[in-house]
Amino acid sequence: MKNSDQFSRRDFVKLGVAGATVGAFTLGGWAFTEFIVDEGTTDTWHKSVCRFCGTGCGVMLGMQGKKLTRIRGDENAHNKGVICIKGALLAELMKIPNRLLIPKIRKNGKLVSSTWEEAMQLVAEKFKSSIDNFGPDSVAYYGSGQLFTEESYTANKLFKAGIETNNVDSNARLCMASAATGYVQTFGKDEPMGSYEDIDHADCFFIIGSNTYECHPPIWERIRIRKSVNPNVKIIVVDPRNTKTAQQADLHLAVVPGTDLLLLNAMLYLLVKCQNIDRKFIDEHVQFMYEEKKVGFEDWVAFLDDYKPELVAEELGLSVKEIQTAAHWFGTSKASMSLWTMGINQRIQGVFLNNTLNSLHLVTGNICRPGATPLSLTGQCNACGGIRDTGSLSHLLPGGRFVQNEKDRNDMEKLWEVPEGTFSERPGYHAMELFQAMVDEKVKTALIMCSNPAQSLPNLNHYIPGLEKCFLVVADIFENTETANYADVLLPTALYIEKTGVLGQTERRYQLVEKLIEPPGSAKSDLEILVDLAERLGHGKLIKSKTTADVWDEWRKISAESKYDFSGITYERLKNECGIQWPCPDVSHPGTKRRYAKGDPFVEEGKEIQFYGKENNRAIVFLRPYIKDEEQLTDEHPFYLTTGRVIEQWHTGTMTDKISELKNASKRGKFILNPIDAHRLGITENDLVVVTSKKGKIEGPVSISDNETPGVIFASFFDSSFLINKIVNDQYDPVSKEPNYKVTAVSISKVKNTDI
Amino acid sequence: MELIEWVGLILGITGFILITSLAWMIKKYHRIKPSIKIMSLFAIFIAPLLSLVVANYHVFETSKEVKSCMGCHVMLPMGIDMLDSNSTSLAARHYRNNWINKQECYSCHKDYGLNGTFKAKADGYRHLLTYVTHTYKEPIKYRGEFNINNCLQCHEGTSVFMKVEEHEPVIENIKKGAQNVSCLNCHGLAHPSSLRRTPGHPDYKMLTSPFSMTIKTKPENEIRDLKFFLTHLILNEKPKN
Ligand code: SF4
């Protein structure tokens, strides 16, 4: 008889089948879920950088085959995954139709299709004949803070060491020159000492001349988060406009345009008076100077007597109490951080303002420690790395060297292996002089790359004839830019991830953009164009690095001979890391978060702080007097016009104004007025008005908004059908040569009949 | 115990009693009376079915809880960061401000509609199997794309949302069907970055230790409960580092 307790073979099989069934269900279910939980629309993700503004956000690019389909902020980059709407729409940028696909040459007034050979041959001939007939200073290069570093470096080398002209300048002159000069004068070296990370430690933010909310949104988000986590943090915003940044401030100081140096000096006065200065820090690290002359602490204190709040408040348009509050918050916080941009730089006293902002930090010891730093926010994605660091301006040479300094010239002649005396000791034409030289027919042939001066220059009407007279070679991605209208030769270029190169943003961080797709048509990278031009002009040996990787290595090695040493930042590292901050002298160096402080490779062992850019290791506090802006209100011009960017648009809108989401959101160019002014003038929303300055007049629609303060009219410059720069003042800072875009006296009247 | 658990328990006990009595009756009477048939129908089919439904419902419901998600230690950095009053992540900000005050993970991570619930559960099942079979690697990665409709379900149409003009291009992008703008682009990381969640990173220890948290915004008992749960979890299942 079968023992019922025995486990039969049959039972075993049954159990096995049951187990297998359960297992099959489990695994089948797993496979099923693997199948139904979708992977998203991208095949691969690539680490990259946004190509628009100087925030330099790290992005992750999602590719589907050869198409860019998704953009996400890079969570591991400095921006911690936050980007703005422009960056979020980079995929749309790459889809813009009607790119320039082949070179074009102007024949009988019309641009006609050509070949690279024909176009480049013509370009080389024109350059050669200008140089032969009128000397090397009859040609020029006008570049951009949006080219890759390798491209700007090569252009600078070709023109300064090859063609032997210092006529190398760029659109960065229009946005960053005052900040760069301010840093050089105060600390001996350009570029800031602080980092974005300081935002996470600051207790007081002093934001002046920056609409951070719209122009550097991830930075604003970081400030906002800092405040939300620590509500005691104070935000002071100094801006004539009630911008979205100002609306969220704890204290908004709506100064009269052009007067804010009075405010900075008044704050310094109060800091001294209330003993909120750091005497020990001053004694150890600071030198006072009036112009070229060394002065003492007492002289500085006496100088500030002219800026008692009671004496300046009225001209500033502020109350004494407001100035006191700002000085008190700045001086008593544990760590104060200043942030500024074009509102300070694009000014007739731009350098003085930059000096004085740096002084606020030096005299209070709010510098070189977490949260305590001045930090000038950069406009373009590569104005710092590409233009300032490579010395691609008419008065500079690479690595913080100066054209006028003999030792600097000799150093660079050795490094570039050209004979002594190659460089001219005379600075070339800076941007405003360059376009004037075109008007005066002193510059006969020019190469303009990645820039749109026919829309971005102030007092446009004056400079346009120069663009017409000069033989203009324009390298761009589109044919319908304002500048392309004046091109004699138009060269199609690669855009963003259609080429490889390095971008260097605000906080000395170098980041790599890798090529992911081929450029359309026969478009080439700007570097390829420069290398080709060098060959044709007989400078092929000088421009020996012909690929981006080779140029980078050459520049990297040259940087080791300066305090800009980034020789440890190789392409290999950049491919794997989310950017590296220089100085970075070797490949194992992690980069320098805080410059001039312990941890900076140039700070001597045992020192906590060393301003090594200056011979005596002391940063300079300049006595900078306020000079009234020439643009004063009169009966004829009773309003101030100030210009700026809006969140959706990038500069002259050549790219962003072709992306429907951005175009529709920003709407068209217009004048924005305060309701009180509008009411007084009998102007209502969408009325057509004429705004007139000493430079001319333009017509446009009006929008009425509380975001403007009475007496101030705002207009943005992205719309090519609304060329606001035609009426903007073109005076410039006497030192930095940066134009005074922010202050133009104007009148406004409703259009009855069109009289333009 | 919650009501649903009581119901399950009662059903289970009832089923057990019925089956035991059924076996006893069959042994005693050697035949099946109609009353036994009804009883057996209930014991063999109805009670288990009801138990299954109740159990499933219970599992479905409890798997929506934060505790359930954080049952796997790879999820600890997300949970701990969310509870941390000093964290600036989106999850922490939502939690701190009580914008979502229960089922915090599930509320954002399930797509809306029936399909969404099904997908969330399916994904949960996938997570579970990946976890128990150890076929994952830290830092774990979100599979596919986070559906921004999950954000818009709550935010779109609110006055705060509409007031922000900068949302205009986002809405246009969504309407266009391109959907390549994510809310996270402008509003920041939902959870600690993958770098910080990588074993060996200086923040990893902190992100996997409930002792590092500062929680100020929830009722005391809730905080105690969560901390206790997490501590218990960590002590029993030490994460790799
Ligand atoms: S435009 Fe500027 S702020 Fe916006 S994503 Fe690009 S780099 Fe960042």
Domain positions in chain A are 9-93, 110-175+382-449+467-478+487-581, 177-376, 639-752
Considering Cα of A595, then A598, then A600, then A605, what sign does the dihedral take?
positive
pLDDT in tens, A732-742: 999 999 999 99
In this predicted structure, what is the pLDDT of residue A756?
45
B33 and B119 in a single domain? The answer is: no
Least confident segment among A494-508, A673-687, B179-193:
B179-193
Domain assignment present for B138: yes
Residue A464 burial (CB count, 10 A): 21
Residue among B93, B125, B186 whose CB faces A84 most closely? B186
User: Which residues of A are less than 8 Å from B144 in CB distance?
Assistant: 37-40
The reply to whether A221 touches chain B by the CB within 8 Å rule is yes
* A280-292 mean pLDDT: 97
Domains A110-175+382-449+467-478+487-581 and A177-376 belong to one CATH topology:
no
Length of chain A: 756
Same domain, B75 and B127: yes
In this structure, is residue B92 part of a structural domain? yes
* Same domain (yes/no): B205, B223: yes
The reported pTM is: 0.89
CATH topology of domain A110-175+382-449+467-478+487-581: Rossmann fold (3.40.50)
CB contact under 8 A, B180 and A88: yes
How much is the pLDDT for B240? 39
pLDDT at A228: 86
- Split at pLDDT 50, 70, 90, the class of A693 is very high
Q: How far is B42 from chain A (nearest CA, A)?
A: 24
**Token output for A22:** 């359960």
Residues B132 and B199 in one domain: yes
Give the model confidence (pLDDT) of B150-206 as tens digits: 898 889 888 889 889 899 999 898 888 777 788 999 998 999 999 999 999 988 888
Average pLDDT over residues A370-390: 97
**CB contact set of B227 (below 8 Å; sequence gap of 6+):** B210, B213, B215
pLDDT (mean) for B209-233: 63
Residue A4 has pLDDT above 60, yes or no: no
Residue to mutate, A52, A378, A661, ligand 1, most ligand atoms under 8 Å from C-beta? A52
* Best mutation site among A61, A72, A83 for ligand 1 pocket (most ligand atoms within 8 Å of CB): A83
Q: Which residue, B62, B78, B103, sits at the end of a domain?
A: B62
Q: Range of B151's domain? A: 147-181
Q: Which uninterrupted H or E stretch holds A85? A: helix A85-88
Q: Enumerate the β-bridge partners of residue B93.
A: none
Position A204, amino acid = C
Asked if residue B7 and residue B35 are part of one domain, the reply reads yes
* Contact check, Cβ <8 Å, A26/B129: yes
Q: How confident is the model at residue B1 (pLDDT cuts 50, 70, 90)?
A: low
pLDDT of residue B237: 47
A58 lines ligand 1 (CB under 6 A): no
- The answer to whether the Cβ–Cβ distance between B172 and A26 falls below 8 Å is no
B82 within some domain: yes
Helix %, strand %, coil % of chain A (to 5): 35, 20, 45
Instruction: Pick B212 or B38 by higher pLDDT.
Output: B38
Least confident of A22-26, A590-594, A621-625, B215-219: B215-219
**Nearest alpha carbon to residue B166 among A378, A664, A721, A708:** A664
Nearest-angstrom CA–CA distance, A577 and A513 = 12
Residues with Cβ within 8 Å of A217's Cβ and at least 6 positions away in sequence, in order, are A55, A82, A84, A85, A647, B186
Residue bearing the CA closest to ligand 1, atom 8: A57
Confidence bin at A193 (pLDDT 50/70/90): very high
Give the number of A-B residue pairs with CB atoms closer than 8 Å. 115
CATH number of the A9-93 domain: 2.20.25.90
pLDDT surpassing 50 at residue A2:
no
Higher confidence at residue B44 or residue A234?
A234
Is the minimum distance from the CB of A86 to ligand 1 under 6 angstroms?
Answer: yes
pLDDT for B41 beyond 70 = yes
Q: Does B123 touch chain A (CB under 8 A)?
A: yes
Mutate to test the pocket of ligand 1, among A51, A53, A199 (most ligand atoms within 8 A of CB): A53
Same structural domain for residues B14 and B115?
Answer: no
Q: Is residue B113 part of a domain?
A: yes
Mean pLDDT of B220-232: 64
Residue A56 near ligand 1, beta carbon < 6 Å: yes
- Whole-number Å distance between alpha carbons of A672 and A214: 16
Kindly state whether residues B133 and B231 are assigned to the same domain.
Answer: yes
Percentage of chain A beyond pLDDT 90 is: 93
- Following CA atoms B44, B46, B47, B48 in sequence, which dihedral angle do they give, to the nearest 10 degrees? 70
- Whether residue B100 sits in one domain with residue B154: no
Is the domain A639-752 a CATH 2.40.40.20 member? Answer: yes
Higher pLDDT among residues B225 and A197, named by residue: A197
Domain count, chain B: 3
- The pLDDT mean for chain A works out to 95
Spatial CB neighbours of A224, under 8 Å, sequence gap ≥ 6: A248
Residue A58 at interface with chain B, using a CB cutoff of 8 Å: no
User: Do B8 and B85 sit in the same domain of this protein?
Assistant: no
Does ipTM exceed 0.95?
no
- Nearest 5 degrees, angle CA A220-CA A244-CA A746? 125
pLDDT-derived band of residue B232, with 50, 70 and 90 as boundaries? low
* B241 inside domain: no
CA A216–ligand 1 middle distance (angstroms)? 7
Confidence of residue B112 (pLDDT cuts 50, 70, 90): low
Q: Which two tokens stand for residue B103?
A: 């089922």
Task: State whether B91 and B205 are in the same domain.
Answer: yes
| Residue B83 and residue B196 share a domain | yes
Residues B23 and B10 in one domain: yes
Among B62, B82, B108, the domain-final residue is B62
User: Please, is A67 exposed, middle or buried when counting C-beta atoms within 10 Å of its C-beta (0-12, 13-18, 19+)?
Assistant: middle
Question: To which CATH superfamily is domain A177-376 assigned?
Answer: Dimethylsulfoxide Reductase, domain 2 (3.40.228.10)
| For chain B, the helix, strand and coil percentages under 3-state DSSP, each to the nearest 5 | 65, 0, 35
